Amino acid sequence: MSTPKKLSPFDFINSINEGLRGKTVLSDEDVESGYIPFMVNRGLSYFNETILLANEMNMRAPTATKGMQYNFLRSTVRPAKRFSKWLKRSADDSDVEAIRSAYGYSRGKAQAVLGILTADQIRVIRERYLQKGGIYK
């Protein structure tokens, strides 16, 4: 007998997009074990008609249970098929990573000084902080 597949945040996003008319009604157990509010809300933040609803749950994450959040979104999001890329920073982050390692900065601080350093200085930092085990990243 095979064990049931654990649901991913994307299963929940699909279920929310189907709305109350959708066939999938998830059990309380499914919601508690597989629902990751951060991921579900992010997934709904890529569309102008769902971002405000997702942010309502983003605000209430500490107090609303996973079941409450899932049911709120499932009841309020207009049923539709929605597809989007999962957005990430598009810039080449290796220089930022090298600066971060060199100075112990956060990404924000490293980003802020990226434009200050010359190409030669960045090369020196990369050589020193990204060259590990003989491999030049």
Sites of contact with another protein (CB under 8 A)? 37-38, 41-42, 45-48, 51-52, 54-55, 58-59, 61-62, 87-91, 100, 102-109, 111-113, 115-117, 121, 124-125, 127-128
Work out the burial of residue 132: count CB atoms within 10 Å of its CB; fewer than 13 is exposed, 13-18 middle, 19 or more buried. Answer: exposed
Per the CB < 8 A criterion, the answer to whether 96 and 107 are in contact is yes
Nearer CB in complex with another protein: 23/85? 85
Instruction: Compute the least distance from the CB of residue 14 to another protein, in Å.
Output: 19
Nearest residue (CB) to another protein, 7 versus 60: 60
Structure tokens at 48: 């102008």
Quote the least distance from Cβ 65 to another protein, whole Å: 14
11 vs 46, beta carbon nearer another protein: 46
DSSP 21-71: GSS----HHHHHHH--HHHHHHHHTTSTTTHHHHHHHHHHTTTS-HHHHHH
Looking at the Cβ atoms of 22 and 114, the one nearer to another protein is: 114
Residue 133, CA atoms < 13 Å, CB-side half-sphere = 1
Minimum distance from CB of 4 to another protein (Å)? 27
The three-class DSSP label of residue 119 is helix
Q: Smallest gap, in angstroms, from Cβ of residue 25 to another protein?
A: 26
User: CB of 35: closest distance to another protein in angstroms?
Assistant: 13
